[in-house]
């Protein structure tokens, strides 16, 4: 598309983009500063961690903080590798099951007419108002009755249902033309075939955004390890690193705290970088009908 000889959103660099870059650059720098600080802070030696005035960039980078963290984990009864393994399994299971149930529910609530559909959607919208603390006791009673205390499912089940992700994906599914779905049914497709071959390929940007939201919820969660798990060998990396920082809230523990912050932050950053194009597509199409 062109306007007065100029293309709107040109694929390659155009001089007309310079003014936009100039306007956005201060915002980009401002938003990047916390990321740069976390990365630099984790590699600071002890004298730079407590320097006054504080330094933003590391002057003499060192791996001492990470070495101390690894050594301290060896003194505990459970090795650090066990917590990493637990977090990986919990994140993989929760993310996979959550996306499957979320996309299926979004398809059913958007394109399949059945009794109670509106009531179910209203329940999901009401659930958006409740924080995890408000449903802590009912969740504990359910996990207890199911016999999942001190099991991997005590981490997974409370986090599978994520109302925000369902609301987002449902809004995206509603944009799929009904004519396409009706044509698929006329060709003999079942509900599952329509879901797998038509809906899923058309809502990939929304799935990517939901994946980031669910991942952040699972990766940063400490409540399941704190309330449903008594066995230290079944707790997650996030819980261990945060409890380690709280237990060693001394001068010597600040280096381990800085290293822990970077370790917990990197997976979120990597996942967003991988899925950023899909996330941008979701935001661009969220208001288009």
The Cα 206–Cα 278 span in angstroms is 7
- Whether 172 is in a domain gets the answer yes
The residues near 2 (Cβ < 8 Å, ≥ 6 apart) are: 8
The reported pLDDT for the residue numbered 206 is 87
- Whether 252 is in a domain gets the answer yes
The reported pLDDT for the residue numbered 104 is 93
The reported pLDDT for the residue numbered 287 is 47
Rounded average pLDDT over 270-284:
67
Average pLDDT value for the chain: 82
Same structural domain, 195 and 271: yes
- Whether 137 is in a domain gets the answer yes
Same structural domain, 186 and 252: yes
The reported pLDDT for the residue numbered 247 is 61
pLDDT tier, 250 (very low <50, low <70, confident <90, very high otherwise): low
Domain end position, chosen among 43, 66, 89: 66
pLDDT tier, 99 (very low <50, low <70, confident <90, very high otherwise): very high
- Residue range of the domain that includes 33: 2-66
The reported pLDDT for the residue numbered 282 is 54
Same structural domain, 135 and 250: yes
Domain end position, chosen among 66, 93, 118: 66
CATH code: domain of residue 201: 1.10.3720.10
The reported pLDDT for the residue numbered 103 is 93
pTM over 0.85: no
- Whether 107 is in a domain gets the answer yes
- The pairs formed by 243-246 with CB atoms below 8 angstroms and a separation of 24 or more are 244/69, 244/72, 244/73
Tell me how far CA of residue 20 lies from CA of 17, 27, 31, 276, in angstroms: 5, 12, 17, 20
Rounded average pLDDT over 113-133:
84
Q: What is the pLDDT of residues 197-230, one digit of tens each?
A: 889 988 888 898 889 889 988 988 888 888 898 8
- Domains in the chain, number: 2
The reported pLDDT for the residue numbered 289 is 46
């Amino acid at each position: 598309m062109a306007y007065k000889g100029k293309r709107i959103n040109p694929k390659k660099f155009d001089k007309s983009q310079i003014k936009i870059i100039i306007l956005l650059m201060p915002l980009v720098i401002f938003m990047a500063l916390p990321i740069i600080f976390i990365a630099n802070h984790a590699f600071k030696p002890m004298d730079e961690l407590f320097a006054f005035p504080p330094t933003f960039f590391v002057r003499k980078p060192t791996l001492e903080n990470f070495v101390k963290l690894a050594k301290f984990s060896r003194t505990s009864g459970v090795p650090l590798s066990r917590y990493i393994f637990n977090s990986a399994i919990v994140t993989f299971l929760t993310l996979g099951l959550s996306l499957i149930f979320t996309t299926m529910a979004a398809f059913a609530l958007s394109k399949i007419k059945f009794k109670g559909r509106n009531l179910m959607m209203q329940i999901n919208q009401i659930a958006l108002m409740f924080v995890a603390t408000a449903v802590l006791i009912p969740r504990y009673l359910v996990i207890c009755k199911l016999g999942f205390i001190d099991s991997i499912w005590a981490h997974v089940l409370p986090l599978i249902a994520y109302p925000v992700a369902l609301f987002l994906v449902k809004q995206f599914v509603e944009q799929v033309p009904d004519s396409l779905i009706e044509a698929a049914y006329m060709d003999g497709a079942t509900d599952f075939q329509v879901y797998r071959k038509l809906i899923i390929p058309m809502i990939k940007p929304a799935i990517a955004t939901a994946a980031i939201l669910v991942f952040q919820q699972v990766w940063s969660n400490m409540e399941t390890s704190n309330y449903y798990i008594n066995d230290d060998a079944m707790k997650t990396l996030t819980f261990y690193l945060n409890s380690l920082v709280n237990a060693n809230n001394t001068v010597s523990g600040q280096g381990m705290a800085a290293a822990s912050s970077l370790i917990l932050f990197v997976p979120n950053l990597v996942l967003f970088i991988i899925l950023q194009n899909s996330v941008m597509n979701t935001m661009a199409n969220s208001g288009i009908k």
